[in-house]
Chain A
Amino acid sequence: MFNFDFVKPSSIADAVAAMAQTGAQALSGGQTLTPTMKQRLASPSVLVSLTGIAEMKGVCLGADGLSIGGATTHATVAAEAGAYYPALADLAANIGDPMVRNRGTIGGSVANNDPAACYPSAVLASGATVVTNKRKIAADDYFVGMFSTALDEGEFITGVTFPVPEKAAYVKFNQPASRFALTGVFVAKYASGVRVAVTGASNNGVFRWAEAEAALSANFSASAVEGLTVSAADLITDLHGTAAYRANLVKVLTKRAVAGAK
């Protein structure tokens, strides 16, 4: 990989200053960015590690919901979020493998917005708020498309706040080599209605399945989505599965998530 200057600020204020430099790139756990840089698909001139900022770490229940610092690892979320939001802790506990979970962070995952990553589905299904060094962004406004988000240049995620649902579940069909979701569905039931977010399936990244949300809001049972179909039009076809295969998985996994929600 090309060389760069490495800086590791210890406060958000110092990170903002470091990120203002030309060619600066935020680094969180580095489980995606480091391999990407080895392939020279990214070549920042300044790499700003966010993992030394104490105010960006931790899990905390507040009035707006469960707030998780952007630099909190998947392992920490798996260990500490379970008492408040079991489905979210379960999702975190099954990302990648133990070594990835010890380094990878929620902020890094949500900022990268890999179309097959797990976390974006939880953020979107929970109607969570993405908190940055500049502003708060509603999940519905945050995910713009595959690897694309509402984040501006120099903007980084300091935390994510999740409204805690009555019940929820995340079910993914693993791609066994990469351990990403071939398709994954997060279902979250709130007093205001049910939200269903799908990852791994669409050419446009994570999306909400509106028909299932309406059906499940009226009747929260797996049978409620039985009569629905998912259009394969914008779904991913690759060597692991066709668009039609993924469309079927969306429905199957939604039913499993509803049945397993707690």
Chain B
Amino acid sequence: MTKVTMTVNGKSVSAEVEGRTLLSAFLREGLALTGTHIGCDTTQCGACTVHVDGKAVKSCAVFALDVEGADVRTIEGMANADGSLSVIQQSFQDHHGLQCGFCTPGMVMASAALLADNPKPTEAEVRHHLEGNICRCTGYHNIVKAVLAASGQDVPAVAAE
């Protein structure tokens, strides 16, 4: 066991972990932050997406010891200080950007990373950016609407509707 220390949602945390402890397992089992979901565990679905030093990563493909000293942000750190939903979270609710909700934490984290880099993405850019996040309810149209709305842009009619 090796001691790892990192900042998670603004708080410094440290724990003894094995070499094989994944960041996703450290967050869920070590810190009880179960908002980070494990969908596929094969680095494909994006449900476990968190931010490491501001970059979106799949936490099931990162070892906890490899992010020693990093600044980690999870879905639990996305709400406003007063507990109200962030703009992106509220937009997902307003535009029905979730059905079963399993992919939603990853979708929100990936979308937040996109809007930090590109505050006014086109619909095509949103879709391209979310290629690594799979929604098994196939609710993509409303997810894309939610992201566009969260960016302050008009929500277009989507072709499939």
Binding site for B on A (CB under 8 A): 1-6, 8, 27, 30-31, 34-35, 37-38, 47, 49, 51, 75, 96-100, 102-103, 177-179
Contact = CB atoms under 8 A, between A and B. Distances in A.
A6 B43 contact: no
Given A4-B20, A35-B42, A38-B41, A99 B56 contact: yes
A107 to B, nearest CB: 15
Contacts of B2: 6
B129 interface: yes
Contacts of B20: 1-4, 37
A51 B66 contact: yes
A100 B44 CA distance: 9
Interface in B35-72: 41-44, 46, 49, 52, 55-58, 60-63, 65-66, 68
Q: How large is the interface on B (under 10, 10 to 19, 20 to 34, 35 or more residues)?
A: 20 to 34
Given A8-B68, A100-B132, A179-B131, A47 B19 contact: yes
Contacts of A1: 20
B42 A99 contact: no
A57 to B, nearest CB: 14
* Listed residue (A5, A8, A35, A98) with the most chain B CB atoms within 10 angstroms of its CB: A98
A1 B63 CA distance: 12
Main secondary structure of the interface of B (DSSP, over half): mixed
A23 to B, nearest CB: 12
10 contacts: A6-B19, A6-B66, A30-B66, A31-B58, A37-B20, A75-B55, A99-B49, A100-B58, A100-B132, A103-B62
Contacts, number: 78
Interface of B: 2, 18-20, 22, 41-44, 46, 49, 52, 55-58, 60-63, 65-66, 68, 110, 113-114, 129, 131-133
A98 B66 CA distance: 19
Contacts of B62: 30, 34, 103
Given A3-B19, A35-B43, A98 B61 contact: no
Nearest to A37: B20
* Listed residue (A5, A37, A49, A97) with the most chain B CB atoms within 10 angstroms of its CB: A97
Contacts of A4: 19-20
Given A6-B63, A8-B66, A51-B66, A99 B19 contact: no
Given A6-B66, A103-B62, A98 B113 contact: yes
Given A3-B20, A38-B42, A30 B63 contact: yes
Contacts of B68: 8
Contacts of A35: 42-43, 61
Given A2-B20, A8-B66, A47-B19, A103 B61 contact: yes
A145 to B, nearest CB: 25
A99 B129 contact: no
Contact of A34 (B56, B61, B131): B61
Contacts of A51: 66
Given A98-B56, A98-B129, A98-B132, A49 B66 contact: yes
